[in-house]
Amino acid sequence: MKKIKVKIPAFPASDYTIEIGSDFLHTILPRIKKLFPEKQIFIITDSNIAKTKNLKLLLDKEKLPKYVITPAGEKSKNINTVVKIIELMEKQAFGRDTIVIALGGGTVGDMAGFVAAIYKRGVDVVQIPTTTVAQADSAIGGKTGVDSLVSKNAFGSFKNPSAVFIDVNTLKTLDEKQFNAGLVESIKHALIADEKYFDYLKKNLEAILARKNKPLEYIAQKNCQIKASVVEQDPFEKNKRRILNYGHTIGHAVESASNYKFLHGQSVAIGILAANLIEQKLGLGARERLEILKDIFSKLKINLKIPKSVTKKQLLDIISRDKKAVKKWPRFVLLEKTGKVLYRDGQYAQKVERKIVEDAIEILLK
């Protein structure tokens, strides 16, 4: 028997710039053309964005090929929509010289990134996030994907953007529920990495909710710095990057079990409370922090009541299928204290006894 060894070179280093500011959406398209000359531009957005001024501001008077995801939101975030987008691009003869522009929230960014990752084996993508969730988290780091019938982001790929443009003025088109729920990702970043940032969010919540540009730019900057620092150290989620999933394991389960009637941020808020309950059971404190978080979520008017139709068995079944599960059971990211993730035995995600998780879920379901 003959053997041939194939040596795969290390993944080439790459970088991209995140630009943050206010009222510059109308300048982005000319800048993209200058940054990526001779590229064919294809825009992916959704029906919510199409109703606002944001798409018109980006395009100005230009007419560019685009796909508008309809309906907007998680219900369209599936492989069937991806196929429709790719087939449209094929019909319009887009090639490897394509650059995809994602204009929208987390769903648009995830789907556009996934399309860019697999179309013709990979084309460039530029992220222009327009929601609090996307500007805080999903537009940065290159995790893309769509949902299966069973779980969230079951199909996916790592695809770093070639550039990110964050205009905080786009947040002013969001309704209160979307805006407030999206702030949970900012709270998560503070909890896992920066206690002073957590204090800032508490003290400046009123100004943030008033959507004043200065605090919105500041939190966008802090979120991007925190996430970029983690992603640079662990681009493919081998270990440290898991800390970005704080509150997401049970949060994603709630989101899926609600049939996506619960917003992502709303579900993560519940997952963060669950994590705090688990931390208490493990003797890590968190009692005072839990009350502070409940107060913050109350000020954000986030509904934390899980629907009665959702059962403990259902949630446990979903988390057993978590994409990061080992032997059908996930590892949980937990806090040692505010601003510092628990790190044991070289791991940032910890194995937690099933009974402790069940107890936390039961408390949340009451």
Q: How far apart are CA 110 and CA 114, in angstroms?
A: 6
DSSP alpha helices (H): ranges in 172-311? 176-182, 184-193, 195-203, 205-209, 213-233, 248-257, 264-281, 287-299
Q: How far apart are CA 94 and CA 88, in angstroms?
A: 9
Peptide bond preceding 235 in cis form (omega within 30 of 0) = no
**Pick from 47, 248, 282: which is nearest to 153 by CA?**
248
**Pick from 13, 7, 18, 361: which is nearest to 163 by CA?**
18
Instruction: Return the SS3 of 66.
Output: strand
Q: How far apart are CA 100 and CA 39, in angstroms?
A: 10
**Pick from 226, 223, 277, 227: which is nearest to 250 by CA?**
277
Instruction: Return the SS3 of 329.
Output: strand
Structure token digits, residue 45: 């957005």
Q: Which residues are marked as active site? A: 121, 143, 185, 227, 237, 241, 245, 248, 252, 264
**Class of residue 352 by CB neighbours under 10 A (exposed 0-12, middle 13-18, buried 19+):** buried
Q: How far apart are CA 254 and CA 262, in angstroms?
A: 8
